[in-house]
Every structure is written in structure tokens, then in C-alpha cells.
Amino acid sequence: MRHAVIILKWEIQKILSSWQKTLAVFLVPAAVMVFAINLFPKLLNYLSTGSLGSQRIIVMDAPESFMEYDGKKDDLYNYTYMTAAEAEQYIDNEEAMYELIRNGSIILGFGTFSGDPFDESVETKYRRFYEEGQETPQDTMVMVMFDSEQMLAEAKAEQFTNDIVNGYISYMDDRYGAQYAGEYSTFSTDDFNPITFVLDNRNVANTQAARVIPGIMVILMYYCVYSLTCDMIAMEKNRGFLNKLIMTPVSPATLLWGKALAINILVTGSSLITFLFLFLSSWINRSNDAGSLLPFGLMLMPDQLIYMILAIPASVLVMTAFCFLVAIELEKFEDTVANLQLVLLLLLIGFFAQMFIIWDPIVLEFIIPVHNTIVLLKEIILSDVSIWQFIAVLVVNLGLGIFLMKKCAKELLTGGVNDRSRKRKKKIFF
């Protein structure tokens, strides 16, 4: 045990003594991934609208109440106002209307069935209800038009409806309801309890993040394990240094466990930093863009964080033991790199597949090594995880990791003995 701790400290010091290696393990993967995640919605916006700026909203015949509405989020939406006369040429011309929306623009229109001005019709409805007690038929309409053939345009239209249109309708309740209802005027819950806004967004943010964060974290975990294994095992074996270590009084099992624990500490720390980056990325995403992979408001409860922190080292152990086994059994360094990179490719394919899976995981998925970590993290973020799922993932990963580590020690000892025997025979022959 003492020798394993010495090797652990030696390997960690070797990595941390070089700032290039430290950045490569802890910061660069997370920073690059967060940059890509934040670039993704802007890229989608550019491909659909040809602009990297705010979403274009064409407002036709806007009533005075909408012009006065405080909350239009002018920094997120670019409004183009059309008068009634300008809008007239598009209303009965489908081709001209399509030309407006085919580049991803959204049209916001206001109208009444009676032909009366919009604000006047709304005020009449409230006045008759509060003063005369009459329920009048719905006369006003607010229309959000978009190109239904564009998935992104539909998502952005839904976001605009939630951000602006629903807020405007509530504003109209406050504006006219307060005028006629007197002491029974309406109010906004968020004005009294801002946390309500965060909790309302958390459901959307966590649901979206559950499709992205687990795959990202597992890919970066494996990338770090694979890189460190190439440095600690494959490179040392290629230089012949690993065989020299086997000849020392330290047993192969102790040697490998020292290196594995060092990798586990480094990769677990890197994974938690990655999650912190992703968490902060969500909270600074104030635009809450519909195309964003991490919408505003990602939040985990304390028990969910504990599950995540405990599950990561067990998963890292399986990855480390597998990478060790490949590096030990293959003779050439190039073969080791090629085989380990193949797994990284499979994880990338799995990551994109998880983004489109909307059904609940089956029991079998929790006993598939590494994949079970992705599924568990997904359930944790969705707040659907159970203690039995967590225990199953922990037992499977720890059990398989320990088994593979024993196999690695046996293979390393057998390979080292064979290498020494071949060298002795070669010397005797010549």
C-alpha cells in the first residue's frame, strides 16, 4: 500500500509539474467543449437566418399597448415594425408572406374579428365584464407566424411566444384589469418571488441538459484516461522503462494500482471542473435561446451532486483498467493508440444517439459498463434516479474495474517474465 501511494504521488507530481499537461487534463477539454456548446445555437441561427445577431421579428400593425409594453427584450429580438398599410400587401399574398418568413423570420400580427382597433376591442371587453357583468365573445387575436418546415424556426417561435407573447397577454391583464377591477388588480408572481422564475426554467434546462451533459462528461473522462494511459503505460512500455519498473521489488499489482489511482484522482477532478464549466455556462445563458444545448437555469439538488461525485470515480476505474489492458497486451505504441481511439469514436456516436432518445432507460442499460454512467447521469439530471440504479452502476463498474486490474497485473507480470526470458535466451544463443 505504501508503494502504491508513492507511485500515485510520483505520477500526479509528474503531470502537475508541467503546466502544458495540467492544462491539457483540467482546462482545455472543458473549455473547448463549453465554447462549442455556446457556439452551436449561433451557428444554427446563422444557417437558418444568415445572421449571427438577435432573432428578427416582423410586427404587423402593432397596437399602442405593444409599443408601450416593457419586456420586449430588445437585446434578444430585432423588431421590424410595419404599418397597417404596409402589411396589407402581404396579408392576402401567400408568396410575399412566405418570402418574409423563409429566412427564419417570425411575424407577429394583431387583429380583431369586428374590425375595431385592437386596444379598443380589449378595453371594451374588460369594461363590459367589470362594469356590466357581460361575458363577450373573444374578438381579439395575436398571431405568431413562421415557416413550419423549419424545425429551428418552430422552436424559436415557441420560445418567442413564451418570452414575449405570453408576457404581453399578462401585461394586458394588468393594464386593463387593474383599471376596472380596482382592489382586485392582478400581480406578477415573479415580482414577489424571483426564485419562481428560476424553478420554472429549471425543468426545461435540466431536461435539455440531460441529453447533452452525460455524453460530454463521459467522452472527456475517457479522453483524459486514454491520454494519461498512453503517457503512463504505453510510452513507458515503448521506451522499455515499464520493464525496468517490473524488475523492482514493487509488485505489478501495486505498480498498476498506484498509476490507476493517480489517473482516477486527476480525471475525477477534471470531470468535476468540466461539470462546473457546463453549470456556469447554463447560468450565463440569459438569452435562453431555443437552439441552445444548455438553456438557462440548470440546477442539481445536493443528493444528485453526491450521486454524481461518487459515480464518476467508479466509471473512471473501468475506463482506466480497460486502457491499461489494451496498452499492456499490444506490443506497438501505434496499435495501442489506434485501438483506444476507436472507443472514443464509439462514445461520440453514442453521444449523438443519446440526444435523440426520449424514452426511459431499461434495466439492462444500468449493467453495461461506461454506458451505465451516461444513463445514470441522465437520470440524475432529470431527478428520476433511484438509489437502486445508483448502487447497480457502482457495483458493476467497481467490480469490473477490479477484475480487469487483476488481469492487467497478471498480464504485466507474464509479459515481463517472458521479455526477460527471451533476453536471456538471446544472450545465451549468441
Q: Is the whole-model pTM more than 0.75?
A: no
pLDDT at 424 over 50: no
Q: How many CB atoms lie within 10 A of CB 289?
A: 23
**Between 141 and 75, whose confidence is greater?**
141
Alpha helices, H only, 240-296: 241-246, 252-283
Write phi, then psi, for 54 (nearest 5 degrees): -75, 160
Question: What SS3 state is found at 333?
Answer: helix
pLDDT value of residue 427: 37
Sheet with 77-82, strands from edge to edge, namely 77-82, 55-60, 106-112, 140-145
**Between 416 and 72, whose confidence is greater?**
72
pLDDT value of residue 378: 92
Residues 144 and 105 sit within 8 Å (Cβ to Cβ): no
Ramachandran region, residue 110 (left: φ > 0; alpha: ψ -120 to 50; beta: rest): beta
For the stretch 349-355, contacts whose Cβ atoms lie closer than 8 Å and that sit 24 or more positions apart, written own/partner, are: 350/215, 350/374, 351/215, 351/216, 351/218, 351/219, 352/215, 354/211, 354/214, 354/215, 354/378, 355/211, 355/212, 355/215
Percent above pLDDT 70 for the chain:
83
Strands 140-145 and 106-112: antiparallel
Considering only CA atoms, which of 80, 76, 82 is closest in space to residue 55?
76
What H or E segment, with its residue span, contains residue 119?
helix 118-127
Sign of CA dihedral 363, 364, 370, 374: negative
DSSP-assigned letter for residue 291: T
Predicted confidence band of residue 296 (pLDDT cuts 50, 70, 90): confident
- The residues, ordered by sequence, that sit 6+ positions from 426 with a Cβ below 8 Å of its Cβ are none
User: Which grid cell sits at 14?
Assistant: 509528474
Residues 333 and 238 sit within 8 Å (Cβ to Cβ): yes
What mean pLDDT do residues 159-183 have?
A: 75
User: Which grid cell sits at 348?
Assistant: 461520440
pLDDT at 318 over 80: yes
Domain layout of the chain by residue ranges: 2-40+205-423, 51-187
Q: Which range, of 136-145, 188-197, 407-416, averages the lowest pLDDT? A: 188-197
Q: Which range, of 78-82, 86-90, 424-428, averages the lowest pLDDT? A: 424-428
Interior angle at CA 110, CA 108 and CA 112, nearest 5: 155
Residues 279 and 298 sit within 8 Å (Cβ to Cβ): yes
Q: What is the pLDDT of residues 191-224, one digit of tens each?
A: 556 666 666 667 777 888 888 889 989 998 998 8
DSSP-assigned letter for residue 211: T
Q: Which range, of 95-99, 313-317, 339-343, 424-428, averages the lowest pLDDT? A: 424-428
pLDDT at 168 over 70: yes
**Separation of CA 78 from chain center:** 27
Predicted confidence band of residue 21 (pLDDT cuts 50, 70, 90): low
Sign of CA dihedral 179, 184, 189, 191: positive
DSSP symbols for 1-68: -HHHHHHHHHHHHHHHTSHHHHHHHHTHHHHHHHHHHHHHHHHHHHHHHS-SSSEEEEEES--HHHHH
**Dihedral, 247, 251, 256, 258 alpha carbons, nearest 10:** -110
pLDDT at 30 over 80: no
What mean pLDDT do residues 62-86 have?
A: 82
- The residues, ordered by sequence, that sit 6+ positions from 402 with a Cβ below 8 Å of its Cβ are 317, 321
What mean pLDDT do residues 242-270 have?
A: 87
Residues 288 and 159 sit within 8 Å (Cβ to Cβ): yes
pLDDT at 405 over 90: yes
Distances (CA, A) of 159 to 153, 221, 278, 283: 10, 34, 22, 18
Q: What is the pLDDT of residues 41-51, one digit of tens each?
A: 677 666 655 55
pLDDT value of residue 73: 73
Mean pLDDT, the chain, integer: 80
Q: What's at 325, amino acid-wise? A: L
pLDDT at 407 over 60: yes
**Between 239 and 418, whose confidence is greater?**
239
pLDDT value of residue 291: 65
User: Which grid cell sits at 422?
Assistant: 527471451
Sign of CA dihedral 224, 226, 227, 232: positive
